[in-house]
Amino acid sequence: MTETNNIDQEDSPTPLQQIIYLLRKYKLVEGLVNLQENTDDPSLNESAVQQQNLTELQVFLDQLHPADIAHILEALPLEDRLLIWSLIKTDRDGEVLLETSDAVRATLITDMGNHELVAATEYLDADEIADLAPDLPQEVMDNVFSSLPIEEREQLRAAMSYPEDSVGALMDFDVITIREDVRLEVVLRYLRRLEELPDHTDQLFIVDRDEQLKGVLLINRLLVSDPDTLVAEVMTKEMIKLRPNAIAQQAANAFERYDLVSASVVDDNNKLLGRVTVNAVIDYIRETAENEALNLAGLSEEEDLFAPVLKSVKNRWGWLAINLVTAFIASRVIGLFEDSIEKLVALAALMPIIAGIGGNSGNQTITMIVRALALDQIDTSSAWKLITKEVGVSIVNGLLWGTVVGLFTFAIYQNAELGLVMTLAMTLNLLLAALLGVIIPLTLRKFGRDPALGSSVMITAVTDSGGFFIFLGLATFFLL
Amino acid sequence: MTETNNIDQEDSPTPLQQIIYLLRKYKLVEGLVNLQENTDDPSLNESAVQQQNLTELQVFLDQLHPADIAHILEALPLEDRLLIWSLIKTDRDGEVLLETSDAVRATLITDMGNHELVAATEYLDADEIADLAPDLPQEVMDNVFSSLPIEEREQLRAAMSYPEDSVGALMDFDVITIREDVRLEVVLRYLRRLEELPDHTDQLFIVDRDEQLKGVLLINRLLVSDPDTLVAEVMTKEMIKLRPNAIAQQAANAFERYDLVSASVVDDNNKLLGRVTVNAVIDYIRETAENEALNLAGLSEEEDLFAPVLKSVKNRWGWLAINLVTAFIASRVIGLFEDSIEKLVALAALMPIIAGIGGNSGNQTITMIVRALALDQIDTSSAWKLITKEVGVSIVNGLLWGTVVGLFTFAIYQNAELGLVMTLAMTLNLLLAALLGVIIPLTLRKFGRDPALGSSVMITAVTDSGGFFIFLGLATFFLL
């Protein structure tokens, strides 16, 4: 972050563009050097130019924020990525690793020796090391553990014990604690003795001798109060206390609703364990939204843009296999009606319309319900109201769009009965989509499953097979 | 937020559950009162009980945070929602309105008189009024304008002048400014004279006589420095400066990357206009992720869970219409091959497999590319690398899954040639999906369109119609 780091200057090159420019310059000369080695012409000392280009790259990298470096590494193909990575100073390696996506982090860690990895963790806090731990070799973690002072070792052990999506995984240990029976002047003097305060310190935590959390002193309160006041007089007793084993989403909801910068984490005995800060929450919100989008699209996890082909194939494997199974089932449903299709081949051309619109409509319903479930806005009493509403919407949509497809069918095939069957099939399939669009996520939820996962695949499977069955069944019954 | 507001206590009832319980109690007695009016039996004074229940509800609501009230209103059917809304004190109406979703806010505003609406804005800052402005009747806004002091009127005018997705729309005016030539002691005294500091004040802004932004004094720095120091000695000159007309996403990226709590907003002349705080950014990130998910599912906007049927139909209209058009096109593509299907009816049962898997695969590619574009991680030099990779993935997947469907086909129809056509068609359709999965978002971006909007519909249209054409075309050519 330099003074000129004004992110609004759209016409000036981004750090990524500058790196790409410097990389090209470097590689161009490298090409010349290689050429020169073959021709043995020492007229130009290319390798000095080369060295200068490398230095230029390094100087530029040194002034970038770790998050910007991570962003650049993610955007570069593997070869360039590792070249840039080798230019990052060891004392910043850890911070950069923290900021990269899991997939890209793996490519960087693979490139490092165990010794380098241990060195990289030296500049990190215990909670940060815990974030990297799943990606580090066991040997490295053993070394890290034994090199830590006892207090940090205990913190690291605690941080690593919380599951990934828990409040504990978002927690850090950078809390400043004070006693309630001192004057604010004493607090101010105490703070001045610290060289700096932890980032996102918007409150000091007030604990008693047993480390029980009694309240918080907001920094904003500290600043506007008379220094002669006692902490107890201006402390806030109303506060958010998080539990380390609660799901992280609860912390995210609290931060979003109550506009927090930090919040305390306490154990069952009200003992202060640490705090969660808003930057950890933002990262969590982003990642969750990201994963949801990836899952919807059928990607198991975030993918390195430049991952090797086989690795990508594996990442996309699971959902394609599931979809293939549902496609096979739909295919067999159609197979049941091959005689009908043989007699009236127009059915084959028309059936995807019924299935497709049913799938779209079902996904609209499911998205709404899943969202409301995530926000805890549906209980049993409202479930019936929702089903009634969705059924109403599907009947209106069914008759409306059903009439459109009916007219389309009549226009093309000059067959009024076929048009009516289309209208009826469309209405019934949208009705099916509406009912299951409410029932599927509610049922998943009831059995303790995440309704966001798989709902969409299931509703599409139902509206495909169901749509084919309804349409071909009606056609066979009424037309043949 | 009370002291017991420990959001981890999962077994204790949520505020929503408590409200629903209190509402039921209230409505039960209401039923009795109505019954009693008919029987003219004054033995029990039900309406006193009724009044007591209402008071109980009101007391409970008074202690809830506005965000919690908004959450409850969103989860209640219209009738209950308006009953609860009528119990909220006027001085909190504005804050609650700010926290509700657009759709639910509209139902609340419709229920209020113009006088009430003007009163509700009295407790809001200019930037908050600007957030509500699009939903308020013109007459109300006129009244609000004329009732504001001049400075706030100017702020409101400024805040309303920025487009919805700009940094300006996230900005507030709660900045504390100081001069660089004073001692920290003076700053501390100045702060103490203020009764309270604005939320999220993690830095004071240092301006000169022309309101030019010279730097910031971090509160954390202020607290640890000697009071005798000059502001100029401890101020930070390296800082993020946002421009009001930049897109809001830039601010979100900066807050996420640099872990900010607040950031300055300056005009082209470096004059301080206001600041953006992390809570506004979190709301923006959530809403953006939300809208993306809704758009993917084909909902135009966030929908009130209990919206009237016709309103919901309208919200879902647009995407269904577009999908219907693409379904019609796919249907006509099949129509071209009706003769082939008549001769070999198995084609009808098999074709949805090719189209379906192609659509899934294309959506996987597109999701990855759209995400990388949003993070500015793709330039022209990497585009080719990406196409090569996606083509590689699609060939592997095509041969793999193509073989599976080929064997499936052979098992069912005992026709080896038909199986081979399936394998070939699957490979070609996945190839088409991969190419267009990269090309469509890059092209949309090139023409200045948002690649997240419509990419998914387009790729599905291509892989449906394209898949049918490839499969039926190959079958006609090789088998008939």
Interface mutation vs chain B, best among A76, A250, A282, A469, most B CBs within 10 Å: A282
Q: How far is A153 from chain B (nearest CA, A)?
A: 26
Distance CA B266, CA B212 (A): 9
Residue A326 has pLDDT above 70, yes or no: yes
Q: What is the pLDDT of residues A197-247, one digit of tens each?
A: 999 999 999 999 999 999 999 999 999 999 999 999 999 998 999 999 999
Cβ contact A289–B294 (<8 Å): no
Sign of the dihedral through C-alpha A108, A109, A110, A116: positive
pLDDT for position B228? 95
In Å, what is the CA distance from B462 to each residue of A212, A293, A377, B328? 62, 21, 38, 13
The residues with which A216 forms a beta bridge, in sequence order, are A205, A236
Residue A346 has pLDDT above 80, yes or no: yes
Secondary structure element (H or E) that encloses residue B294, with its range: helix B278-297
Residue B34 has pLDDT above 70, yes or no: no
Q: What one-letter code names the amino acid at B154?
A: E
Long-range CB contact pairs, A210-217, < 8 A, 24+: A210/A271, A211/A177, A211/A271, A211/A272, A212/A269, A212/A270, A212/A271, A212/A272, A213/A241, A213/A264, A213/A266, A213/A270, A213/A271, A213/A272, A214/A180, A215/A180, A215/A239, A216/A264, A217/A178, A217/A187
Which residues contact residue A78 at a Cβ distance below 8 angstroms, ignoring those fewer than 6 apart?
A107, A306
- Any idea which of A373-377, B220-224, B228-232, B420-424 has the lowest mean pLDDT? A373-377
Distance CA A287, CA A449 (A): 20
Query: Can you tell me the mean pLDDT for A5-34?
Result: 70
Q: How far is A41 from chain B (nearest CA, A)?
A: 32
- Which one of A220, A303, A320 has the shortest CB-CB distance to B397? A320
- Go through the domains of chain A in sequence order and give each one's CATH number: 15-162 (1.25.60.10), 177-297 (3.10.580.10), 309-479 (1.10.357.20)
Q: ipTM of this model?
A: 0.84
Cβ contact A68–B257 (<8 Å): yes
pLDDT for position A192? 93
pLDDT for position A383? 82
Distance CA A230, CA A234 (A): 7
Q: What is the pLDDT of residues A255-291, one digit of tens each?
A: 999 999 999 999 999 999 999 999 999 999 988 888 8
**CB < 8 Å from A in window 247-276 of B:** 250, 253-259, 261
- Sort out which chain A residues have CB atoms less than 8 A from B167's CB and list them: 8
pLDDT for position B7? 44
| Beta pairing class for B241-242 and B203-207 | unpaired
Query: Can you tell me the mean pLDDT for A346-366?
Result: 94
**CB < 8 Å from A in window 373-392 of B:** 375-379, 381-382, 385-386, 389, 392
Residue A452's Cβ-side half-sphere holds a number of Cα atoms within 13 Å equal to 16
Q: How far is B342 from chain A (nearest CA, A)?
A: 5
Distance CA B298, CA A460 (A): 14
The candidate with the shortest Cα–Cα distance to A29, out of A54, A55, A61, A60, is A54
Query: Can you tell me the mean pLDDT for A122-140?
Result: 92
Q: How far is A367 from chain B (nearest CA, A)?
A: 7
Cβ contact A293–B74 (<8 Å): no
- Which one of A334, A367, A375 has the shortest CB-CB distance to B299? A367
Residue B162's Cβ-side half-sphere holds a number of Cα atoms within 13 Å equal to 25
**CB < 8 Å from B in window 338-367 of A:** 338, 341-342, 345-353, 355-357, 360-361, 363-364, 366-367
Cβ contact B294–A191 (<8 Å): no
Cβ contact A8–B241 (<8 Å): yes
pLDDT-derived band at A293, boundaries 50, 70, 90: confident
Question: Do you know the residue count of chain A?
Answer: 480
pLDDT for position A8? 42
- Sort out which chain B residues have CB atoms less than 8 A from A292's CB and list them: 289, 293
**CB < 8 Å from A in window 45-84 of B:** 65, 67-68, 71, 74-77
pLDDT for position B42? 52
Residue B140 has pLDDT above 90, yes or no: yes
- Any idea which of A51-65, B11-25, B406-420 has the lowest mean pLDDT? B11-25
Residue B370 has pLDDT above 90, yes or no: no
Provide the token pair at B204. 């004071």
- Asked if A7 is an interface residue toward chain B (Cβ–Cβ < 8 A), one would say yes
In Å, what is the CA distance from A200 to each residue of A29, A204, B113, B202? 45, 11, 42, 8
Residue B219 has pLDDT above 70, yes or no: yes
Q: How far is A333 from chain B (nearest CA, A)?
A: 8
Question: Are B447 and B386 in contact, with CB atoms under 8 Å apart?
Answer: no
Q: Listing from the earlier edge strand, what are the strands of the sheet with A241-242?
A: A241-242, A262-266, A272-277
Q: How far is B230 from chain A (nearest CA, A)?
A: 16
User: In Å, how far from its chain's centre is CA B183?
Assistant: 44
Distance CA A339, CA A321 (A): 29
Residue B238 has pLDDT above 80, yes or no: yes
- Sort out which chain B residues have CB atoms less than 8 A from A371's CB and list them: 290, 293-294
- Asked if A400 is an interface residue toward chain B (Cβ–Cβ < 8 A), one would say yes
Average per-residue pLDDT for chain B: 89
Query: Can you tell me the mean pLDDT for A157-164?
Result: 92
pLDDT-derived band at A295, boundaries 50, 70, 90: confident
pLDDT-derived band at A190, boundaries 50, 70, 90: very high
Question: Are B98 and B123 in contact, with CB atoms under 8 Å apart?
Answer: no
The candidate with the shortest Cα–Cα distance to B191, out of A216, A227, A175, A189, is A227
Query: Can you tell me the mean pLDDT for A475-479?
Result: 94
Query: Can you tell me the mean pLDDT for A182-195?
Result: 94
pLDDT-derived band at A3, boundaries 50, 70, 90: very low
Q: What one-letter code names the amino acid at B373?
A: L
Residue B29 has pLDDT above 80, yes or no: no
In Å, what is the CA distance from B357 to each residue of B54, B402, B416, B459, B463? 57, 10, 21, 12, 9
Cβ contact B290–A14 (<8 Å): no
Interface mutation vs chain A, best among B218, B267, B324, most A CBs within 10 Å: B324
Interface mutation vs chain B, best among A65, A176, A320, most B CBs within 10 Å: A320
Provide the token pair at B365. 């590619």
Cβ contact B296–A298 (<8 Å): no
Q: What is the pLDDT of residues A30-89, one digit of tens each?
A: 666 666 555 555 555 567 777 888 888 899 999 999 999 999 999 898 889 999 999 999
Question: Are A419 and A350 in contact, with CB atoms under 8 Å apart?
Answer: no
Query: Can you tell me the mean pLDDT for A419-424?
Result: 96
Give A59 or B293, the one with higher predicted confidence: A59
pLDDT-derived band at A110, boundaries 50, 70, 90: very high
Provide the token pair at B8. 């981890």
The candidate with the shortest Cα–Cα distance to B323, out of B459, B473, B466, B471, is B459
**B274 three-state secondary structure:** strand
The candidate with the shortest Cα–Cα distance to B145, out of B135, B133, B162, is B133
